[in-house]
Structure 1
Amino acid sequence: MFTTYDEAIDWIHSRLRLGVKPGLKRMEWMMEKLNHPERRIKTIHIGGTNGKGSTVTYLRNILEEAGCTVGTFTSPYFEQFNERIALNGVPIKDDEIVELANAIYPLSEELETTELGGPTEFEIITAMALQYFGHVKPVDLVLFEVGLGGRFDSTNIIFPIMSIITNIGLDHTSILGETYTEIAGEKAGIIKPGTSIITAVKQNEAKQVIENKAIEMKAPFYCLDDQFSIEHHHSTATGEVFTQKTPFQKWSNLEISMAGRHQIENASLAIMAVELLNKYYSFLIEDGHVYEGLKNAYWPGRFEVIASHPTTIIDGAHNNEGITALVNELKKRYANKKMTIIFAALSDKKLDQMIMKLDAIADKIIFVEFDFPRASKAEDLFIISKNSNKHFSKDWQRALKAEMNTRSAEEILVITGSLYFLSEAKPFLLNMVKR
């Protein structure tokens, strides 16, 4: 058993050695032993390739404006581990992590002796979140973000009041499948009988898979550009403005502070969810709560401007779709600026496509590496690049410091790639900016 926070965290992280073990048998076993906390929680399940965290944030902010207590389960963390389980946006306390780890540890030890085998890191953290919101700190609603895929993800132990699938991209193809159709099938696994499904999926083949699953489950289906739509979108210096039409009403001049068309789509999913909460689940969320909640929503590492003079941006574009969204936004907002990009990535991504898109807009590109089991070597990224002004460094701190200290006021510095990398780089950058 654990007496300190560090002991608990070390044990949780030690489970990374088990990797990914798809399936719900271990979760079902633990839920039985914990007296089924998942049955005591009202939840919304959010899956998709990109945009899960932002969609959770928009929805949480709106619900908080309406006076609701909202739990969230998200991954990965950005600044501290405790963020993964939060109450009204505030990470749970260190002593609560210790308490939850001590509740799960004996179950993990017992599971090790069964044919199911021990739980993975993500299964342990999921069980901790369910225990917390089910037995320790009940709330009005919990927003559960899928870890990987959907059908066999450990979060799929819940029975939500509705599900959201943000989008479909070709990520984690070795586990989820090589095509949009296969990946959509995995993500559609979170759709439950009779519970509404909201999605912003664009590919026709993926959309059809999700709609077919909704029909099979007799689940009401709401898809962006079909059942609800975005109109009159324009960008501002501080974000985006748009209008949204739904089956229930028209929302004019909505504002968000996170940049990009993709962020409007994420916000539109939250609005659609709010309308269903009002109409079918007796929530009392007023129009003003929606407008204020969206405007004040913030999620770290999503086209986040760390410094303005000169402009320094961090963005967790960790797959091909994320890089595409980042590149589009950079071209729209900084087309006439000289741009330096610092990039680090995990080795299991489609790196050639990602780097090709960054090469196209970078006046200078620097590849770095960081201490993480699946992190790519900087030199391997460098070899893939075709940019004429490319560099690599094994010491990401030295590379960042050099660029921060030598740029002119007119240059743009973009630090992007793995969220695991950005979680280390952001505090380092903030410390430099304060000097």
Structure 2
Amino acid sequence: MSGEFMSSIPTMRYGEGDRIGLLRQILVGLNHPDEHYPIIHIAGTNGKGSTAQMVTVLLSAHQLKVGLFTSPHLVTPRESVQVAGEMISVKAFKSVASQVNRILKAYGWTTPDILSEFEWTFLIALEYFKQMDCDYVVLECGVGGALDATNAITQSETAIFTKIGLDHLNLLGDTLEEIVATKAGIMRSHQLVVIAPEQKPGVTSQLKSAASLLPETECLKADLTNLQTVDRHTYRYVRDNNQEVTITLGLPGEFQRENLATVLTWYEMWLDKNHLAWKNDSVQKALASVHLPGRFEKVNNHPFILMDAAHNLDAITSLIESLQAAFPHQTLRIICGFLKDKDVAHMVEKLRVLPAKWWVTQPDFPGRTLTAEELATIFNRYNISPQGIYSNPKEALEVVMHQEETTPIIILGSFHLIKCLRGEFDV
């Protein structure tokens, strides 16, 4: 089966009928690959990718073979499927896709577009992880929880909830309470549940209440008080035995403190359950190695260019704090573009606190893109006059890069904008 079939199928089919039932039927045909390894399932609005990467490197530090499924990808769907830090090969991707396709045909589905791109990649990942004899699998939810494709799994050892906020309202619910209820759907009985700190009011209590209804499910909230920021990459962590540890994290950004606290809460419990000792050198080496494309990522030195895919109000708020800490007293040059189903007006209202010159553009996502002209209108509403309005993101980048100014360039607003521009750099 050719790998090009991905280009002809929908990106997402979330909410179109019983997707979970469909995926579980296919997993039965594949002989339940999800039952061959313990799973750590991660849901939330922001921080899922960072959290998944940290969990993966800590498990790998114990010489475990770890499968990692994340989204979205920036260049190829193969990025979403990794084992031991290596992306699935083209040959393996096509081979497993053919195997899934045979199951579809056996059930009478003759065209691959019965599944979305996300669902295809998820199924390929689970089967590939089985074939690779993974010791552990880390699954990052897509946009949801209960109805997310990743919730087709029948078991998971741990559910981790990163920060939950208002996003994907058209899919997950109209209120924060409805969104939390949807996210909580990944919980299982006989499971450890870990909740990130600094949640919005009511989120933690709602998640704990959901966990209390499940047999033998332990629920913990991460604590920030034992993890203090030293600088952009360094933290001072005090363990329960009062051992003080300095941790260097490969991911910069003020917002990573909450993600790291969440991961350390899980890790301490995991060590205890498996009767393993904290090994400072291996923890340090693992966390220092974490890298996540498109998240507060430096992609160029001269001029300095940083990309961040922040695309909702909470993520923008965290990004602003990180930019203010990283570039005090500097006027930034910012290229931004958003999808139209986001709360763009409130994000622009937040962003205006930054000392910046603005260039507006649009992500390449037909049907969901907010045009550059529409974005400029929103900026004008907040008394910001963009320096330039470009429908082509690459044109905007070229214009800004060739200015004589040397101030930092920031690209933000959407994974789809990052996807379009990241390939312009040698990263």
Please say whether Structure 1 and Structure 2 have the same fold, judged by a TM-score greater than 0.5. Answer: yes
1:242 aligns with 2:240: no
Per-residue CA distance 1:180-207 (angstroms, 9 max, x = gap): 2111111111111120001115123111
1:408 aligns with 2:405: yes
1:389 aligns with 2:375: no
Aligned pairs for 1:198-237 (under 5 A) are: 198-201=194-197, 202-217=199-214, 218-225=216-223, 229-236=225-232
Aligned pairs for 1:247-258 (under 5 A) are: 250-258=243-251
1:151 Cα deviation after fit: 0.9
Gaps of 5+ in 2: none
Amino acid paired to 2:163 = N
Aligned pairs for 1:105-254 (under 5 A) are: 105-109=101-105, 113=109, 118-134=114-130, 136-158=131-153, 159-201=155-197, 202-217=199-214, 218-225=216-223, 229-236=225-232, 239-246=233-240, 250-254=243-247
Per-residue CA distance 1:194-221 (angstroms, 9 max, x = gap): 2000111512311111000111113111
1:110 Cα deviation after fit: 5.4
Comparing 292-301 and 10-19, the one that deviates more: 10-19
1:420 Cα deviation after fit: 2.1
Please name the residue that 1:371 is paired with.
364
Cα distance in 2 for residues equivalent to 1:112 and 1:379: 46
Amino acid paired to 2:263 = A
Q: Tell me, yes or no, if the aligned pair for 2:227 and 2:257 is still in contact at 8 Å.
A: no
Distance 1:112 1:185, change over 3 A: farther
Distance 1:388 1:197, change over 3 A: same
1:123 Cα deviation after fit: 1.8
Aligned pairs for 1:276-291 (under 5 A) are: 276-281=269-274, 286-291=279-284
Per-residue CA distance 1:138-180 (angstroms, 9 max, x = gap): 1111101111211111111221111101110100011111222
Gaps of 5+ in 1: none
Cα distance in 2 for residues equivalent to 1:249 and 1:222: 19
1:421 aligns with 2:410: no
Cα distance in 2 for residues equivalent to 1:285 and 1:41: 23
1:73 aligns with 2:69: yes
1:109 Cα deviation after fit: 4.3
Comparing 299-308 and 313-322, the one that deviates more: 299-308
Cα distance in 2 for residues equivalent to 1:51 and 1:349: 18
Distance 1:109 1:370, change over 3 A: farther
Q: Tell me, yes or no, if the aligned pair for 1:76 and 1:420 is still in contact at 8 Å.
A: no
SS in 1 for 2:408: strand
Amino acid paired to 2:402 = N
Comparing 68-77 and 58-67, the one that deviates more: 58-67
Per-residue CA distance 1:95-131 (angstroms, 9 max, x = gap): 01100110112333455659xx923222222111111
Q: Tell me, yes or no, if the aligned pair for 2:208 and 2:219 is still in contact at 8 Å.
A: yes
Per-residue CA distance 1:260-285 (angstroms, 9 max, x = gap): 23212112222222222222135666
Distance 1:268 1:143, change over 3 A: same
Q: Tell me, yes or no, if the aligned pair for 2:14 and 2:148 is still in contact at 8 Å.
A: no
Cα distance in 2 for residues equivalent to 1:307 and 1:120: 34
Cα distance in 2 for residues equivalent to 1:59 and 1:330: 26
Q: Tell me, yes or no, if the aligned pair for 1:229 and 1:245 is still in contact at 8 Å.
A: no
1:300 Cα deviation after fit: 1.3
Amino acid paired to 1:368 = T
Please name the residue that 1:326 is paired with.
319
Q: Which has the higher helix share?
A: 1
Cα distance in 1 for residues equivalent to 2:92 and 2:79: 12
1:337 Cα deviation after fit: 0.7
SS in 2 for 1:139: coil
Distance 1:229 1:151, change over 3 A: farther
Q: Tell me, yes or no, if the aligned pair for 2:56 and 2:66 is still in contact at 8 Å.
A: yes
Distance 1:304 1:328, change over 3 A: same
Q: TM-score, normalising length from structure 1?
A: 0.90
Amino acid paired to 2:375 = L
Amino acid paired to 2:266 = A
Cα distance in 2 for residues equivalent to 1:137 and 1:283: 25
Amino acid paired to 1:212 = S
Comparing 15-24 and 169-178, the one that deviates more: 15-24
Cα distance in 2 for residues equivalent to 1:282 and 1:52: 27
Please name the residue that 2:86 is paired with.
90
Percent identity, aligned pairs only?
A: 26
Cα distance in 1 for residues equivalent to 2:8 and 2:72: 16
Cα distance in 2 for residues equivalent to 1:285 and 1:130: 30
Q: TM-score, normalising length from structure 2?
A: 0.91
Q: Tell me, yes or no, if the aligned pair for 1:367 and 1:382 is still in contact at 8 Å.
A: yes
